[in-house]
């Protein structure tokens, strides 16, 4: 019988996840399919029963279910507990388990840098920022700071993770080794022309990491590269969070280069927002 996987969220806009996972299943000859399941918040408990009975073997979880799903699970990984959000459901025997592969996704391209930056600034204090901070701490970055337009949220995140908060207005004043944008500034649509950083304020030799991946090259990354900084695209985070999900579900590795090409082609084929 064809194994079933999918993504739950509400509203569930266009997502590249079905293309990624279905391609992976096809390439490895796994008899499985991955579907999009738009799911209103009230429908979560009943939907999880379909996973408990084995009708569906694993799920990607997106807004607004990432936190709400946690009390409904049998087991949550330490990583997901630290972030306070689950983006992946998988089964371990009869147990329904939650993991956060966004953290794995954030970290993967940073592991490939020639050297680990000693300090990092995360811009934003939402769900993606929590994954980024957790990832940077997992990597062992010694000095992690967070800056957010709404200061109270940065302060709360800083307390949760034991990192420091920096005033939004003062974010460009320190020479951070890594600057990670987790705000939607620069993403396709009304915010596309915007950047959270001034073009002439990038610290020398810093790494600029934008978790926005549509467009592939945001203004933030373009200006960072022009200033001589290394630029890391959010597509790497998306790719690696997906590869980690696939591994949890199938125990197998998707062809990384092929999957990256697939995502690049899919993004290139998207109509402009």
Positions marked active-site? 66
Q: What is the DSSP string of the chain?
A: --EEEEEEESS----SHHHHHHHHHHHHT--EEEEEEE--GGGHHHHHHHHHTTSS-EEEE-TTHHHHTGGG-SEE-HHHHHHT---EEEEETTEEEEE-HHHHHHHHHHHTSSS--SEEEEE--SHHHHHHHHHHHHHT-SEEEEE-SSHHHHHHHHHHHT-EE--GGGTTSS--SEEEE-SSTTSSSTTTT--SS-TT-PPTT-EEEE---SSSS-HHHHHHHHTT-EEEEHHHHHHHHHHHHHHHHHSS---HHHHHHHHHHHHHHSPP-
Q: Tell me if 86 contacts ligand NAP by CB under 6 A.
A: no
* Count of residues interacting with ligand NAP (CB under 6 A): 24
Q: Tell me if 109 contacts ligand NAP by CB under 6 A.
A: no
State the nearest-atom distance from the C-beta of 141 to ligand NAP, in Å: 19
* 9, 58, 105, 215: residue in contact with ligand NAP (rule CB under 6 A): 105
Q: Residue 3 or 36: which CB sits closer to ligand NAP?
A: 36
Q: Tell me if 229 contacts ligand NAP by CB under 6 A.
A: no
Residues 39-78 that bind ligand NAP (CB under 6 A): none
Length of the chain measured in residues: 273
* 128, 134, 145, 244: residue in contact with ligand NAP (rule CB under 6 A): 128
Q: Residue 43 or 151: which CB sits closer to ligand NAP?
A: 151
Residues 133-172 that bind ligand NAP (CB under 6 A): 148-150, 153
State the nearest-atom distance from the C-beta of 31 to ligand NAP, in Å: 27
Span near ligand NAP by CB under 6 A; candidates 23-31, 41-49, 93-101, 205-213: 205-213
Q: Tell me if 222 contacts ligand NAP by CB under 6 A.
A: no
Q: Which residues bind ligand NAP (CB under 6 A)?
A: 102, 105, 124-129, 148-150, 153, 182-185, 187, 211-213, 234, 237-238, 241
């Amino acid at each position: 019988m064809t194994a079933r996987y999918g993504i739950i969220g509400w509203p569930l806009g266009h997502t590249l996840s079905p293309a990624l996972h279905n391609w992976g299943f096809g390439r490895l000859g796994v008899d499985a399919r991955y579907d999009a399941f738009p799911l209103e918040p009230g429908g979560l408990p009943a939907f999880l029963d379909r996973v408990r009975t084995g009708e569906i073997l694993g799920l990607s979880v997106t807004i607004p279910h990432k936190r709400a799903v946690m009390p409904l699970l049998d087991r949550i990984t330490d990583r997901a507990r630290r972030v306070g959000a689950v983006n992946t459901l998988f089964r371990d025997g009869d147990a329904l388990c939650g993991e956060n592969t966004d953290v794995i996704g954030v970290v993967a391209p940073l592991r490939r840098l020639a050297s680990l930056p000693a300090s990092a600034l995360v811009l934003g204090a939402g769900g993606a920022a929590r994954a980024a901070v957790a990832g940077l701490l997992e990597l062992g970055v010694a000095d992690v700071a967070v800056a957010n337009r709404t200061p109270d949220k940065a302060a709360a995140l800083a307390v949760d993770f034991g990192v420091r908060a920096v005033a939004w207005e003062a974010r460009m004043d320190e020479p951070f080794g890594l600057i990670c944008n987790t705000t939607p500034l620069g993403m396709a649509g009304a915010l596309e022309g915007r950047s959270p950083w001034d073009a002439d304020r990038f610290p020398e030799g810093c790494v600029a990491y934008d978790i926005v991946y549509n467009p592939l090259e945001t203004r933030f990354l373009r200006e960072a590269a022009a200033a001589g900084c290394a630029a890391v695209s959010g597509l790497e985070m998306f790719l690696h969070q997906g590869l980690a999900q696939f591994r949890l579900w199938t125990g197998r590795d998707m062809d990384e280069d092929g999957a990256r090409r697939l995502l690049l082609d899919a993004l290139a084929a998207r109509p402009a927002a």
